[in-house]
Structure 1
Amino acid sequence: MIIQPRTRGFICLTAHPDGALQNVKNQIEYVKSKGAIKNGPKSVLVIGASTGFGLSSRIATAFGSGAATIGVFFEKPASEGKLGTAGWYNSAAFEKEAHEAGLYAKSINGDAFSDEVKRQTIDLIKQDLGQVDLVVYSLASPRRTHPKTGVVHSSVLKPIGKPYTNKTVDFHTGIVSEVTIAPVENDEDILNTIAVMGGEDWKFWIQDLKAAGALADGVKTVAYSYIGPELTFPIYRNGTIGKAKNDLEATVPVLDDLLKDLNGKSYVSVNKALVTQSSSAIPVVPLYISLLYKVMKAKGTHEGTIEQMQRLLAERLYTENGTVPVDSEGRIRIDDWEMADDVQAEVAQLWKETTTENLSQISDIEGYRKEFFNLFGFEVDGIDYEKEANENVQVPSIES
C-alpha cells in the first residue's frame, strides 16, 4: 500500500516500514563510524526497546560492542492490509540488520510491567544467553497495571501547587501561544504518576532477574531521566513527572545494595531533550527543543538519540579505566552539552524574543517537525513515499 502520515495532535496514526528501516540503518552506520566500544557489554536486555533511547541503546550495544540483545516492548503488530506501529517496524528493521550481521537478536512483545512478560524474558535469557551483563530500563507508558495489586495507574502531566503559564508552540502550524496548565488536585495523581514512571518496576525487574540467576557478575543496569532548564521545571522537574523521576533516582541505592554480591552497579543517566513521542505531548517543551536545536546545531554540539547512547556507552558506562563519571547526586550526565551555560543563556534570550512571526527565523521548528515525522518513518531522506510499501513486515523472532 501507499502509506502517508496521518496525525492527530502530537500523535502520528500511521508508520512507514521503509522509513523505519532506513532510520535504523542510519543509526547503525553512525555507531560503526565511531569504532568498537572497548570493554562494552556482550549480552544485553533492553526493556522498552522499540523507539527513542531504548532503540538506540539496543543498536549501540549490538553494533558498537557486538552484543547479543533481547528487546522487550509493547507494540501493535503489522498484518496484511493493516499497519503496525512505528516501534514494531523499528524492531523488525533492527532484527533484520542484526541477523544479517551475524548478531543474536530476539524480542518479546507484551506488557513489560506484567509478571508474565518478566518470566517469559527470563526464560529466554536462561535458554539462549544464560545471563546478561547490561540491563537497560527505558519504558515510557501512560499507564501501568500493577502486577501485584491489579490496580491500573494512569500518569498525569501537571504542575504541583499552582497553575503554570508560559509560551508553547503548535509544531504543525508554527503558532506560538500562551498555555496555562492547572495543577494536580490531589496527591493521588502524584502517586499514580510515580507508580507508572518511578523506579518500582525497574526494581521488580532486577529482583526477578537476580533471583533467577540471569544476571552476570559485574552486571550494570541503567535507567533514563531528564532534568532540563529552570524554564521547564514547573511542568517537568517540579511537577508530577519530576516526582516520578525522583523516585526513579532514589531506586539506585536500593539496586546497588541488591547487586552488591554480584559486583554490580545501577545508574540513572540524565539525557538530553530530544524529539520523542513522549516529549511532543508536553506543553512548552516543543518550543524549548526547537530553540535548543537551533543553538546546539550552530555550535556543532547537537546530538540525536544514537549519538547520546553511543557516548553514554563509550564515555560513561564503559570507560577504559573502569570509572563511571557521575555528578554530586550520583547521576550520569549525558545532558552536559545541553546544559552548558552558554547554550542555556542563548536559549533563554531566544525564548523571550520568540513569536509566531519570527519562529521560523530564530528556532529550528522545521528540524523539530522533520524529526517528529522521522519517528514514524516519514520524511526520511532517500525514501520514495509515492511507491507501494509492504505493510506486513514482521519481527523475525516473534511468531505471528
Structure 2
Amino acid sequence: MAVIKPMIRSNICINAHPIGCAKETVNQINYVKSQKAKRGTKTLAEGGKGPKTVLVVGCSTGYGLASRISAAFEYGADTIGVSFEKEATQTKGGTPGWYNNLTFDREAKAAGLKTATFNADAFADETRATIINQIKEWNTKVDLIIYSLASPVRIDPDTKVLYKSVIKPIGQVYSGASLDMMTGKITQASTQPAEGDEIPNTVKVMGGEDWERWIKQLKEAGVLADGCRTIAYSYIGPSLSHAIYRDGTIGEAKKDLEKRAHNIDASLKEIGGAAYVSVNKGLITRSSSVIPIITQYLGVLFKVMKAKGTHEGCIEQMERLFAERLYTGADNSPAKVPVDSENRIRMDDWELAADVQAEIDRIMPTVTEENLEQTVDIAGIRHDFLAINGFDVEGVDYSADVADMSKID
C-alpha cells in the first residue's frame, strides 16, 4: 500500500495514479454524454446512422482516446483499440494509457457496447492480423479508422530495422524560452539541428507509411465497409513554433502523413470512402511539454482562448470533429466534410484565428517569471499536464493509500 504522488522532472511525469486516470476518463465520457443530449444525437440503437464499428490505432490517450469515447458514447459505435502500454501489477504502476484503456472497456461494456482493446505494437503486421481476425470474429466491417499514433520508435515490418524519431530543427540551432510548468521557472533552451539520418528516420516513425500500410492490409482482408473513412491527426501551429515543429523533423513527418493521405484517399474512393488529415489545436501532451517555446505558447494560448470562450481540450475538440465535420447528415449520417485546399480538416481554426494570434503575439514577449499569473494560464496548463497522468483530478483522494496498482477502483 502506498500514497501515490506525481514524480516530475523538467516537464516529464514518470508515474500515474490509477484512480485519477480512471476518473479523468469517466469525466471525458460524461462530457460526450452531455453533448449527445444537448445536440440530440441518435445512437445506432436509437435509429442514428453514425459510425457502427470504429478502429482506433493509438487509442489510449489524447486525441485517440477522445475519438474512441466520442464514437462509442455519442453514436453507440462498437470499437476496437490498439496501443502499446506498460501493464500495471499489484505493486508497480502502469502507464496512464493502460489505466485509460481499462476504464474505457469497463464503461463501454456497462453501456452494452462491444469493445476490444489490444496492448500490442501497432506498427507490427502481426498486430494488424490480430485486429483483422477480431473484426471478422465480430462478423462486421469497419466504417471509420482513426490513426493517432505518437511513438519515439518503430520497427520496419519488412526489414526489422529499428528507427528512432527526434524533435529537432532543420539546418540551424533553435533557441526559445522553456517554461517549467511546476516551478514557474523560465530558461532559455537550445536544440541542435538534426544530423545524418535523423530526418528520414523521424519520417519513417511518425510519417504516413504505417497508416498507409494499415489501410492497405485492412482493405485486402475485406474488412472495410463501403464508404469507410479514415482520419489521421496533425498539427501546424503558429509561425513562432515553425522552426522547431512544422519546419523541423516532426513537421517533415507530418508533411509525409498529409502527402500519403492523398494516396489512401484514392484507394478508399474505390469503395466510396475517403481519407483525411485533421489539423488539431495545440494542447499539453507528454511530447509537447518538452519542446522549447511550446509550453509557454500554450499557456498564453489557453489564457487568450479561455477569455474568448473558444478553448477546447482533447475531448471537446474530438466531439466537435465528429458532430460538426464528419456526421452532419440526416440522423447523424456521414456527410460532405469541409476541408481546406490540401483536403485537410481544420480543427485548429479557432487557435489560428487572426484575433487570437494577434493577442498572443502581443503577450508572448512580455512574459516573465514575475508576471506568469497575469500573462499565462499557468494553473490551466499545470492541471492538464497533471491530469494526463491521473493527478489533480477533482473527486480523487490523493492522500489515500492505493492497495493495488493494477486496479482502477
Scaled by the length of structure 1, what TM-score is found? 0.96
- Aligned residue number for residue 184 of structure 2: 174
- Deviation track 1:4-53 (CA, whole Å, cap 9, x = no partner) reads 21123332221111111111111111111112266321100000000000
Tell me the CA shift for residue 333 of structure 1. 0.3
Tell me the CA shift for residue 73 of structure 1. 0.4
Tell me the CA shift for residue 390 of structure 1. 4.7
Contact 1:166–1:284, Cα closer than 8 Å, also in 2:
yes
Pick from 173, 189, 200 the counterpart of residue 198 of structure 2: 189
Alignment map for 1:1-400 (pairs within 5 Å) = 1=1, 2-35=3-36, 36=41, 39-186=49-196, 188-320=197-329, 322-393=335-406
Tell me the CA shift for residue 394 of structure 1. 6.1
Q: Give the Cα–Cα distance (whole angstroms) in 2 for the partners of residues 115 and 8 of structure 1.
A: 36
Structure 2 counterpart SS, 1:384: coil
5+ residue gaps, structure 1, are 396-400
Amino acid at match of 1:159: P
Contact 1:56–1:305, Cα closer than 8 Å, also in 2:
yes
Amino acid at match of 2:314: T
- Deviation track 1:131-154 (CA, whole Å, cap 9, x = no partner) reads 110000000001111111111111
- Deviation track 1:318-369 (CA, whole Å, cap 9, x = no partner) reads 2227110001111000011111111111111110101111112210112111
Q: Give the Cα–Cα distance (whole angstroms) in 1 for the partners of residues 101 and 51 of structure 2.
A: 20
Contact 1:40–1:313, Cα closer than 8 Å, also in 2:
no
- Deviation track 1:204-242 (CA, whole Å, cap 9, x = no partner) reads 100110111111000000000000000000000001111
Structure 2 counterpart SS, 1:180: strand
Structure 1 counterpart SS, 2:138: helix
- Aligned residue number for residue 398 of structure 1: none
Amino acid at match of 2:62: G
Amino acid at match of 2:204: A
Tell me the CA shift for residue 180 of structure 1. 2.0
Structure 1 counterpart SS, 2:302: helix
Tell me the CA shift for residue 165 of structure 1. 1.9
Tell me the CA shift for residue 392 of structure 1. 4.2
Q: Give the Cα–Cα distance (whole angstroms) in 2 for the partners of residues 167 and 218 of structure 1.
A: 46
Q: Give the Cα–Cα distance (whole angstroms) in 1 for the partners of residues 158 and 305 of structure 2.
A: 45
Contact 1:77–1:394, Cα closer than 8 Å, also in 2:
no
Q: Give the Cα–Cα distance (whole angstroms) in 1 for the partners of residues 407 and 277 of structure 2.
A: 33
Q: Give the Cα–Cα distance (whole angstroms) in 2 for the partners of residues 145 and 390 of structure 1.
A: 37
Contact 2:175–2:188, Cα closer than 8 Å, also in 1:
yes
Instruction: Say if 1:254 and 1:3 are closer, same or farther in 2 by CA, change over 3 A.
Output: same
- What is the aligned-residue RMSD (CA, Å)? 1.3
Q: Give the Cα–Cα distance (whole angstroms) in 2 for the partners of residues 58 and 77 of structure 1.
A: 20
Q: Give the Cα–Cα distance (whole angstroms) in 1 for the partners of residues 102 and 31 of structure 2.
A: 19
Contact 1:84–1:391, Cα closer than 8 Å, also in 2:
no
Amino acid at match of 1:6: M
Contact 1:122–1:214, Cα closer than 8 Å, also in 2:
yes
- Aligned residue number for residue 45 of structure 2: none
Q: Give the Cα–Cα distance (whole angstroms) in 1 for the partners of residues 264 and 403 of structure 2.
A: 44
Q: Identity across aligned pairs (percent)?
A: 53
Structure 2 counterpart SS, 1:108: strand
Q: Give the Cα–Cα distance (whole angstroms) in 2 for the partners of residues 278 and 136 of structure 1.
A: 20
Structure 2 counterpart SS, 1:262: coil
Q: Give the Cα–Cα distance (whole angstroms) in 2 for the partners of residues 303 and 40 of structure 1.
A: 23
Amino acid at match of 2:56: V
- Deviation track 1:169-217 (CA, whole Å, cap 9, x = no partner) reads 111211122222211123x111000000000000010011011111100
Contact 1:268–1:332, Cα closer than 8 Å, also in 2:
yes
Scaled by the length of structure 2, what TM-score is found? 0.94
Amino acid at match of 1:323: K
Moved more, 340-349 or 314-323: 314-323
Moved more, 121-130 or 5-14: 5-14
Moved more, 51-60 or 25-34: 25-34
Contact 2:190–2:292, Cα closer than 8 Å, also in 1:
no
Q: Give the Cα–Cα distance (whole angstroms) in 1 for the partners of residues 123 and 23 of structure 2.
A: 30
Amino acid at match of 2:90: E
Q: Give the Cα–Cα distance (whole angstroms) in 1 for the partners of residues 229 and 398 of structure 2.
A: 41
Q: Give the Cα–Cα distance (whole angstroms) in 2 for the partners of residues 267 and 144 of structure 1.
A: 23
- Deviation track 1:94-115 (CA, whole Å, cap 9, x = no partner) reads 1111111111111000110011
